[in-house]
Structure 1
Amino acid sequence: MKILLTGSAGFIGFHTAKKLLARGDTIVGFDNFNEYYDPTLKAARNTILEESGNFQVIRGDLKNTDDLRKAFDLIGGGDDTRVCHLAAQAGVRHSIENPDEFIQDNIQGTNNVMELCKEYGVGGLTYASSSSIYGDNEQSPFSEEHKSDSPLSLYGMTKKCNELQAFTYYKLHGLKSTGLRFFTVYGPYGRPDMALFLFANWITKGEPMQVFGEGKMQRDFTYVDDIADGIIAALDKNYDYEVFNLGGGHTEELMDYITTLEESLGKVGEKEMLPMQQGDVVATSADISKAQRMLGYNPKTQIKEGIPKFVEWYKEYYKV
């Protein structure tokens, strides 16, 4: 297939592109390489992709349709083309402080992508949603059938909007789309603003870790290779309109996550216990039965295997 992958220099986009290239697909990447976090990390990911062959990247902004057209021109349209839309402004807490940025990037940017999918006659769209859309849902594990209309952050709100945009474009224009609700993704080449990365930095530097929610929060931590496999399955299946949870299938307490990291680093860190932050939820847990049934999704990596893989990369990349 010919695939336009937005956010190709991002964490999940990079791992997805690597797997697609390994199986022989042709990828056009699209990324703005912004400075929300270290752009040299994004550049390192991009270099690996460029060295893989069958990959080229367009540097541009989702809000600029002229930039996007350059990428769409390279894949064209037809049944053998897909758009994998993973680009977004991320960060639950960052969204609360910068609402306009998130609305422009995540809602207007996504609308531009969908409009060009329609115009070019792309064979199908797979896009990133988020477990954040479940907000204050008290049912567990979270199912696609549960309510998702009360997100607790601007980020979650924009992701819910993306699902509504996709539904409308399917109903109005027949644009096939699959939305994927990711649950707390971690792994090598991860985002420096995510908990695992922050904890690793604090431990290696001998600084106290900021542990929110008194360490009692629970998350469905999902290894990035499992997420990438789910994305590729969605691209291949190309349903008319669906949304799926992509989680690890196991909920872990934050303190167990930290303990596993400490064991992998061979160093115990000092902990500063803090209350929950605005926009956070106590626990997330994914019901992945729909993805298992319809995508063949089968997450394989638990934190006991996944965190050591992150630490191995972290030590090599940062020479610690």
Structure 2
Amino acid sequence: MSKPSPTIRDVAALAGVSVGTVSKFINGTKRFSEPVEAKLKAAIDELGYQSNPLARSMVTKQTRTIGLTVLDISNPHFTNVVKGANRVALRHDYTLLLVDVDENQARERPLIETLARRVDGLIVSSRLPEEQSDWLLELGKPLVLLRRSERLSIPSVGIDNRLATFMLTRHLLDLGYRDFAYLGFGQARINDERIFGVRDCLNQVGLGLDVHDVHAPTNRAGEHACSRVMLGPRRPQAVICYNDLIALGFIKAATALGINVPRDVAVTGIDNVPYGEISAPTLTSVDTQSEAMGEIAMQKLIDALAGDEAVEHITIEPRLIVRESTAHSR
């Protein structure tokens, strides 16, 4: 017959204090003198006592759980964001509760509102337009956004999207490419920032840009768009894609069409997902430091839960990663 688990009364008896004192200490609702806290810690360690999380949450009104919504968990960028966020959450004794909205804007609000009722705070990745996001302020929970918001007073973390595509464009210009296309995802607010970065760089040398769009930020969408871009009336020498998944799908379709990358067309992406290191050819990209993004967002939220109400946007600097998909000099 197994030995019964120690109770809060056992801790109180061993430490020589009241049950109320143990309860307040465990739940963090009151601090005591160093000698008293030392006795309490020693008793808890000796007995191997573990508090009941449900009971603790009823007392403190805290779940020690943080919600994280991502747009598509199958996208390695978001997988890495989750890894980074979870690493910091565990370090601070928080549990991460994940919701995948599956790139469905209609599901975002109901899923986030349901999640908010079960957690102490949220990290939110959203595609909803700015003018449709005021309800986030009414959730009554600390929030951190994985994008900059121009109108919402909410802390946020993200990369400099204009700089990311400017760097890619400058790299391609230095290699001698002159006819450019951008293959974007118009449903994402940051898409305009990425187009701006390309155009800003091309304007400095008097070149234009053809802009194309896909219906989803996925490999399949990149595949479907390739023939439209490459077999149209204005065939580009270089294609800058909204993200790595689109770029990898584009390269796959180009190869099937007999178009060699990078001899016939250079292709780049953004995010530096692991697949890009093993694709054929390997993919030139911009490292958005996805795990660091998750870590910073989680730390920012934990700081907010501790009372830090500073509203700021933390910008992560993008890093150019040059590989074979742009190696050919024209």
For the aligned pair, the TM-score class normalised by the smaller chain equals 0.3 to 0.5
Structure 2 length normalisation: TM-score?
0.37
Structure 1 length normalisation: TM-score?
0.38
Structure having the higher Rg? 2
